[in-house]
Each structure stands twice: as structure tokens, then as C-alpha cells.
């Protein structure tokens, strides 16, 4: 079985379960490595060797983000490469920090460095296994010692998001999901979503948990939001008056929900929607690596993920996106409130 340029392989369309299982295990190992590396820098003074300071300048947590991403890449290479060799394909990566090309080129073996693609090359790549990663999602929280951050990764097979893993190093918990084929997750018995507490090896089947949780009205549900700190236009859009309701998006959400919570970590908020703590999450501008892993988890649990125009999130362009994440029964209510 192979992924070749001139054949529609079984792997591209209906991957064997054992292959998906192996990829999922690799992804979980990788995000655990990333989160564990990040914790070495958490609430610690940030210092930079002069050479690295010249190569990378972003914010005080950059070294933590880079090292977490580096750990993820090494583990992916160790565990994904043998799978891809057996399948006669390769894997490619994109991450929030991987645009620091010079730094990664110094740190990585040449063959592994070549697997890092630019944003435009990544979204246009249709061969092999594509992996989108975020060494630390919730960097602002990480800097301030606020325990709301995680490491995350998701796997595309052809153009489909299929597998994800998210590691919360504060709670030492992994959230992972798998959507085995192109069908709707709720119609596929092989779809999986799990919460795994590593400390006691306890696993919770999130799909069954969602099924057994009685649905609540939007007025009884909390909603997560994010106010971007580097795009004044989008902040204004979120806080300015809506011509239909004569209220801002924030005020509308506050009036119809059971509470508004600002997370500054899309992945943590999406995890909380998947496990039932939040009813929805709204963000009017974000990056693909901030939502890819969370989208797999949400969809596996029967929730909905779209942009503000109710379109599926597009991973065919490296542009910023808006995102509405909601439990399935709340989505239409949210749309009617937002009038987007």
C-alpha cells in the first residue's frame, strides 16, 4: 500500500485502522514532548544567548515556543517516518514558529528540516501526511504564568483533517480524536474522541459523555471568546455596535448566554466545548494552527466548526480565519444572535 502521485491509494481515501492508530499514538507522544519541554520554561526567567537573540526576536516566550516545537518535530520524525516509509510517502510540517527558518536549520538534521514547509507550500501540498503543530497555544497566558496553554498537533491525510492530539501540561491530560474517513463523524462507529489523564491512566470517552449530557439552552451555557491583541480592526469589529441588533457581538453574546469567558487559547477553549464545559467558542480572527487540532476534536464529538459566514474552515489558504465553535444544538441559535 502506498501514496503515489499517480494513484488514489487506500491510504488517501479509506486508511486502515492500524495505520490511523499508529499515527495517533505518534501524535500524542509528540504533543506530550512539546508540552513537557515548554514546562521547563514556565514561570522561569527567560534568557537568550546573544546568537539566538540576533536570530530570533519576537517576545520573551519565543525560546519556549521554539524548543517545544523542536521537541514535537523530533518525536514526529522518530515515529511518523517509519510509518511513511512503509507507505512509500513522506510527511510535512507547518507550525506557528516554523517560519524562523534559520533557527530551525541550525537545530535540525537536514532531512528533517526539509520537512518544514512555508504556509503557502503547506496548504498546497496534497501528497503524503501533513501535520500542523503549535508548540504552545496560549503564549500570552504562558508568559504571565496563567495556567491556560497547551501543545497541539493535527494530521491531514490528503485534504482532510483526520487525527488530532492536544496536551495540557498543567493538568497532565491529553485530548485526542480520530475521524477515519470522509463521512460525517456521528455516522461512523470508528470515530474516536478521548480525554486521557496520564497521571492515573484514566480515559474518558468524550463521544459517549456528550451523548449522555442533557442538552442545555444557550442561556445556560458559557461561551468562550478571544480578543486579539494585535489587530485593532478586529477588536473594533467585536466590540462595536451591530447594525441589526444595535449592540456589539460581545454584548449580544453576554445577553443570551450564561457567561462570557476570555481564554486567550483557542485550543483550551475548544477542548472545553468538546468536553461540555463551554457551549461555544467565538473568535473573529485566528490562525489555522490555532484551531486545526481542536476542530478534529469538536467534529468527532458531534459539534460544529465554521467561519463567521457559516462556511467550513478552509485549509487551502494560509490566510487568517474567523471561527464559530459550538455544540451542535446551539449552533443555529448562535448564528441567529450574531447575524453574521
Just give the CATH number of 213-338.
3.40.190.80
Please name every residue paired with 137 in a beta bridge, in sequence order, or none if there are none: 150
pLDDT exceeds cutoff 90 at 119: yes
Strands (DSSP E) found in the chain: 91-95, 129-137, 150-157, 160-168, 173-178, 192-197, 202-205, 222-225, 259-262, 280-286, 304-306, 321-326
Q: Which residue has the cell 502521485?
A: 5
More confident residue, 128 or 47: 128
**Of 15-19, 98-102, 316-320, minimum mean pLDDT range:** 15-19
Q: What is the mean pLDDT of residues 180-204?
A: 82
Pair type for strands 321-326 and 280-286 = antiparallel
Residues 6+ apart with CB under 8 A from 210: 274, 276, 301, 302, 327
**What's the rounded Cα separation, in Å, for the pair 29 and 74?**
11
The reported pLDDT for the residue numbered 12 is 45
What mean pLDDT is predicted for residues 260-274? 95
pLDDT, position 15 = 66
- The sign of the CA dihedral 218, 219, 224, 229 is positive
Per-residue b/e over 214-231, b at no fewer than 16 CB within 10 Å? eeeebeebbbbbbebeee
The residues facing 93 across adjacent strands are: 116, 131
> What are the pLDDT digits (tens) for 44-65?
866 555 445 545 544 546 789 9
Q: How confident is the model at residue 243 (pLDDT cuts 50, 70, 90)?
A: confident
What mean pLDDT is predicted for residues 230-253? 82
Mean pLDDT of the chain: 88
Please classify residue 18 by burial: count the beta carbons closer than 10 Å to its beta carbon, then call 0-12 exposed, 13-18 middle and 19+ buried: exposed
Query: Which residues lie below 8 Å from residue 219, measured CB to CB, with a gap of 6+?
Result: 256, 257, 258
302 has a pLDDT exceeding 80: yes
Q: For residue 279, give the C-alpha cell.
A: 457551549
CATH architecture of 10-211: 2-Layer Sandwich (3.30)
Kindly list the domain boundaries of the chain, sorted by start residue: 10-211, 213-338
Tell me the mean pLDDT in the region 139-155. Answer: 94
Q: How far apart are CA 251 and CA 282, in angstroms?
A: 13
118 pLDDT higher than 90: yes
Cα–Cα distance, 226 to 229 (Å, whole number): 9
pTM above 0.85, yes or no: yes
Amino acid at each position: 500500500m502506498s501514496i503515489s502521485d499517480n494513484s488514489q491509494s487506500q491510504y488517501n481515501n479509506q486508511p486502515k485502522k492500524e495505520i490511523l492508530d499508529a499515527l495517533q499514538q505518534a501524535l500524542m507522544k509528540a504533543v506530550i514532548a512539546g508540552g513537557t519541554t515548554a514546562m521547563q520554561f514556565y514561570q522561569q526567567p527567560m534568557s537568550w544567548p546573544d546568537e539566538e537573540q540576533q536570530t530570533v526576536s519576537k517576545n520573551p516566550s519565543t525560546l519556549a515556543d521554539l524548543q517545544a516545537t523542536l521537541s514535537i518535530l523530533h518525536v514526529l520524525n522518530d515515529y511518523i517516518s517509519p510509518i511513511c516509509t512503509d507507505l512509500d510517502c513522506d510527511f510535512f510540517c507547518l507550525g506557528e514558529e516554523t517560519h524562523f527558518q534559520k533557527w530551525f536549520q541550525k537545530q535540525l538534521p537536514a532531512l528533517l528540516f526539509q520537512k518544514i514547509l512555508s504556509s503557502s507550500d503547506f496548504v498546497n501540498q496534497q501528497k503524503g501526511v501533513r501535520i500542523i503543530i503549535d508548540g504552545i497555544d496560549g503564549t500570552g497566558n504562558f508568559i504571565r504564568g496563567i495556567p491556560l496553554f497547551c501543545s497541539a498537533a493535527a494530521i491531514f491525510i490528503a485534504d482532510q483533517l483526520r487525527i488530532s492530539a492536544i496536551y495540557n501540561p498543567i493538568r497532565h491530560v491529553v485530548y485526542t480524536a480520530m475521524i477515519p474517513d470522509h463521512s460525517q463523524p456521528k455516522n461512523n462507529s470508528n470515530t474516536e474522541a478521548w480525554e486521557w489523564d496520564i497521571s492515573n491512566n484514566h480515559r474518558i470517552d468524550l463521544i459517549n459523555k456528550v451523548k449522555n449530557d442533557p442538552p442545555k439552552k444557550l442561556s445556560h451555557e458559557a461561551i468562550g471568546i478571544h480578543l486579539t491583541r494585535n489587530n485593532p480592526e478586529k477588536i473594533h469589529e467585536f466590540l462595536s455596535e451591530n447594525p441589526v441588533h444595535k449592540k456589539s457581538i460581545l454584548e449580544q453574546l453576554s445577553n443570551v448566554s450564561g457567561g462570557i469567558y476570555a481564554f486567550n487559547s483557542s485550543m483550551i477553549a475548544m477542548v472545553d466545548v468538546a468536553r461540555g464545559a463551554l457551549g461555544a467558542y467565538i473568535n473573529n480572527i485566528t490562525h489555522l494552527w490555532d484551531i486545526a487540532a481542536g476542530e478534529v476534536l469538536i467534529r468527532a464529538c458531534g459539534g460544529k466548526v465554521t467561519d463567521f459566514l457559516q462556511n467550513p474552515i478552509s485549509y487551502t489558504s494560509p490566510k487568517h480565519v474567523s471561527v464559530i465553535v459550538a455544540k451542535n444544538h446551539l449552533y443555529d441559535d448562535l448564528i441567529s444572535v450574531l447575524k453574521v
